[in-house]
Structure 1
Amino acid sequence: MQFATEILTSFLAIIVPFVGVFLERGCGIDLLINVILCCFGYIPGIIHALYIILKY
């Protein structure tokens, strides 16, 4: 069950990176970092979101 949730969250992180981070870590510094990275470029936001999802 946890594997399916991780796959769904990873898929969501590719489409909308900050939503994936929000679902994984909540509203905190990780979300703020991801929003800033998404403003600089879409790819850095995706990389950071996948890192957060796979680390936690």
Structure 2
Amino acid sequence: MVRGSDVLLIVVAILFPPAAAAFITGCSCDLLINILLTILGYLPGHLHAFWLIYKKMQAEERYGRGGYIYVGNGEYQPAFQQGPPGQPNYGATGGVYQQ
């Protein structure tokens, strides 16, 4: 399902692909790759930005909105991972501390 934010990302990717890559990945290697691809040719920069948007949309379908973390190279993982049963979860990752 395409959300309004995805439509906005597509419009930004059409106008300036590195900006869309920055919105999705932050300051990462993918942003540098997109900048270089845009300098080498505008079409490769577009394709890379659209690929990043597509991978983000897949993560939203798989993990739910906001339930994922970008780990690089177009890959996402769940934002909240539970440890093995009976093991305490330290930090703010959810779960219940069992004694």
User: For the superposition of Structure 1 and Structure 2, which TM-score range results when normalised by the shorter chain?
Assistant: over 0.9
What TM-score, normalized by structure 2, do the two folds share? 0.54
Pairwise CA RMSD: 1.1
What TM-score, normalized by structure 1, do the two folds share? 0.92
Choose between structure 1 and 2 for higher RCO, CA contacts under 8 A separated by at least 6 residues.
Answer: 1
State the identity %: 36
Greater share of strand: 2
Tell me what 2:36 maps to: 36
Instruction: After TM superposition, give the deviation of residue 53 of structure 1 in Å.
Output: 1.0
Greater share of helix: 1
Alignment gaps of 5+ in structure 1:
none
Query: Which structure 1 residue ranges, 4+ long, deviate > 3 Å from structure 2?
Result: none
Alignment gaps of 5+ in structure 2:
57-99
* Bigger Cα Rg: 2
Query: Size of the alignment, in residue pairs?
Result: 55
Cα-to-partner distance string for 1:6-47 (whole Å, 9 max, x where unaligned): 010111001100000000110101100000101100000000
